[in-house]
Structure 1
Amino acid sequence: MSRPLSRWHEPLTALGLAAGAVVALGFARFAYALLLPAMRGDLHWTYAQAGGMNTANAAGYVIGAGTAVFWARRFGDRLAFVATLAVSALTLLLTAATADYTVLAGLRFVGGITTAITFVLGSALAARIATAAHQRRAALLVALYMAGVGIGVVLSGLLVPAALGSGGWRTGWLLMGIVSVVAIVPALLAVRRIAPVEGRASGTLPRDALRSLAPTFAWYVLFGAGYVSYMTFVVALLREQGLGTTATATFFVVLGLASVAATLTVWGRLTGRLTGGQAPALVSALVLVGVLPVLLLPAGMPAALLSAAVFGSAFMAGPTAATVLARRSLPATGWAAGIALLTVAFSLGQAVGPLLSGLLSDHGGVAVGLWLSVGLLAAAALVALRQRAYHPAHLPETTQPAPSGAR
């Protein structure tokens, strides 16, 4: 039976949940960029076909995010989180077993469904680790969970090059699948320490809260389309610019390390302090700045590393900001549903972005496709500024910000 966590066990529990984020985004979503050049060369794909793989994954992600609350209500959010993590690990293993485009797209689609459920429910569980905590501490725990994405990016940056140098892209998927199976253990230990939510998880949300969050929903669509286009094709651009496997792997590791460091030291605190759409707008602006070095500066390692450091420091702050906004604006029984709806918006953007960017890349080069990211992220920042702070009167006191000076 779960019992209240000590302040020492709270961060350890968040780290255990972060194993789900390692697999859901670090491996299943972002590592594809590292494997894409080898897969595209071996399987003779166009950029549109390559982007179509991520579109299949994002389409599954939309379905997974949209049904996450159903699975939470049917099996309990803790069991659904661990079970979908296990299925995600299986899809990674199976991806290593085929070269058929349709089968690969199907696996990416199924993986999108399960990783979305894992990520949404993991976010809601992380938000519930310290339900009665001050908003800033709660934001830090959410950020700790989100840091798992950066950890996954770092691990993939270390595993994939080794795989490409020995057994090829299939070995890369296989290694990540094996690590994902291992990740089930800390995730299982973590969920056992989180108490069930008081009251049944709700699939319906207050209309006034949804209306007030409309700019955030629009921002998340644009942000998802913009950032994932870069993450899908930036390694392909770097390879076109002459960087080899070691250099692109270094780029990925720096990106992941920047994500972990900034998520833990900056964004967890900052998103707890900023109000309204300030955090989403700032995140979008910094991610945009992170795209520019590989497009504007002379091709080479300095531009790649600068891009990795700036982009990596901000891109996972988007989901952190969205989760914190949901936590502030909704009752605890609605957190999973609110995060799920926001993730659907995020996923819609991620479904469209890579396909459009791939089409532009086929006609004008990868750099042209990446300029789409710049435009989408600029629009996202402007839309986010329209979000106003929302202070619902119906929320229980434990989800409201504590008085100044509270710990």
Structure 2
Amino acid sequence: MRKSKVHYAWVIVLAGTLVVFLSHGLGRMAYSVILPPMRAGLGLSYTEAGLIGTANFFGYLSFTVLSGLFAFKIGARRTIFSSLLVMGATLFLTGLSRSFRTAFLLRFATGVANGGAYIPTMALPASWFRKEKRGLASGLLTVGTGLGLFFTGTVLPPFMDRFGEQGWRYAWFLIGGSILLLSVPCFVLLRDRPSELGLSPYGKGGEEASSSVSLKGLLIKKELWQLGIIYFMNGLSYIVYITFYVSFLSEELKVPFVLAGRIFGLLGLFSIGSGVFWGWLSDLLGRARAFALAYISLALSCLMPLLFPNAFAYYASSIVFGLTLSSIPAMMAAASSDASSGTLAAFALGVATIFFGVGQTIGPGLAGYLKDVTGSFRGIFILSSLLSLVGAKVSLRLGG
């Protein structure tokens, strides 16, 4: 029998990218595009709209560490598949929401499932790739987020327009049904570790020495907590842009809703390869410098539509943000894997993601409240840019 020249690690990357597309690209990012008609349909205030986003991120936060432990105990494959099933069901049911409370609870449940699918997936390169290839592999997985953003920005606005005032409900039905259907090939293709197929991790060199770090030893490592703080600033700053950019364009800057969705979709298009680029750059310059550069880019994207309120700046902002969107998640996945043993990679990423989740939990509600108080989105984007600059400063304290 002829041996395949393609290592199964690349099949894992392909399946993992599909998981990220479903869980992050659709399940999480679609809310920004669906929010304007959903807010109108349910009669929500901006504070309530922000709190629904917060519920999703709080759910995600609550399960990040547990997802790593589940992956360690029962395997990443089963954890991911179960989470996708729950996610698909809760997203479908979101389309049936009749009140703020129902939408809040369902988005919380979706967030829990999101954590269960995403964290173990991003940790898979620790088992399937040797250290010198993990940054590339992690970056490739983040392509799924960009594809999801491109889909939600370009497909959902005209799709919702077709169904009128109830279009936002059909959008949730579409996304939930798609995740339920596509979870099956994910389960078929995924494997927890190379040894299941009689393989070794992909990459040059001999066998890597197994890390003797214990669960307790990992928790007291300074590097892990530094990464957590860096990730916190990312969660706090980037989610403001993701949640409210379409609303800012369409409601305050008077950009037609469908066009605003296309601008947002451009963000997704340009984010498709961003994780790959930034993963490579972090290998070249070191994690600290790469993190700092990414944060500076995010700050610039938030300031562009404020300093230059014209069509060119709106597009440029979306492109710059897209080129940087997957940078920190990709580098964080690689850095967390480097700081731990392969079997504890999902747990390490889960711990760092707690900080990320706390930032995401605070961000949307705070931003929505600021909009309700000031009557403008401008303060929101100034806040996001300042938080990104703080993130850049904190990143430079991390050892390269």
Instruction: Give the alignment's TM-score, normalised by structure 1.
Output: 0.88
Are 2:264 and 1:249 equivalent residues in the alignment?
A: no
2:15, 2:316 → 1: CA distance?
31
| Residue of structure 1 in register with 2:78 after alignment | 79
Match of 2:98, SS state, is coil
Q: 1:8, CA displacement in angstroms?
A: 5.1
CA contact (8 A) 1:154 1:256 kept: yes
Query: Aligned-pair distance for 1:10?
Result: 3.0
* 1:148 aligned onto 2:144: yes
Give the 5 Å matches for 1:85-234.
85-130=84-129, 133-135=130-132, 137-167=133-163, 168-192=167-191, 194-195=193-194, 204-207=215-218, 210-234=221-245
**Equivalent in 335, 347, 355 of residue 345 of structure 2:** 335
Length, aligned pairs only: 381
Identity %: 27
Which residue identity does 2:26 align to in structure 1? F
Give the 3-state SS of the residue equivalent to 1:237 in structure 2.
helix
Structure 1 contact 143–267 (Cα < 8 Å) conserved: yes
Q: Does 1:374 align with 2:396?
A: no
Asked if 1:385 is matched to 2:400, the reply is no
Match of 1:289 among 297, 300, 317: 300
Show the counterpart of 1:16. 15
- Are the structure 2 counterparts of residues 355 and 47 from structure 1 closer, same or farther at C-alpha, using a change threshold of 3 Å? same
Shift in alpha-carbon separation, 1:126–1:252, aligned structure 2, 3 A: farther
Contact 1:271 1:320 in 2 (8 A): no
Q: Deviations over 1:345-372 (max 9, x none)?
A: 1100000011111111111111212211
Cα distance, 1:49–1:208 mapped onto 2, change above 3 Å: closer
Deviations 1:286-311 (A, max 9, x none): 11111111221124x32221011100
1:399 paired residue number: none
Q: Any unmatched runs of 5+ in structure 2?
A: 201-209
The two structures have a TM-score, normalised by structure 2, of 0.89
Asked if the contact 1:287/1:310 (under 8 Å) is kept, the reply is yes
Q: What SS is found at the alignment partner of 1:252?
A: helix
Which shows bigger deviation, 203-212 or 171-180?
A: 203-212
Q: Which residue of 2 aligns with 1:398?
A: none
CA RMSD of superposed structures (Å):
2.3
1:306-332, CA deviations, whole angstroms, 9 ceiling, x for partnerless residues? 011100111211111111111222111
Contact 1:201 1:334 in 2 (8 A): no
Q: Is the 8 A contact 1:209 1:330 kept in 2?
A: no
Moved more, 374-383 or 241-250: 241-250
CA contact (8 A) 1:19 1:186 kept: no
Unaligned runs of 5+ in 1: 390-407
SS in 2 for 1:213: helix
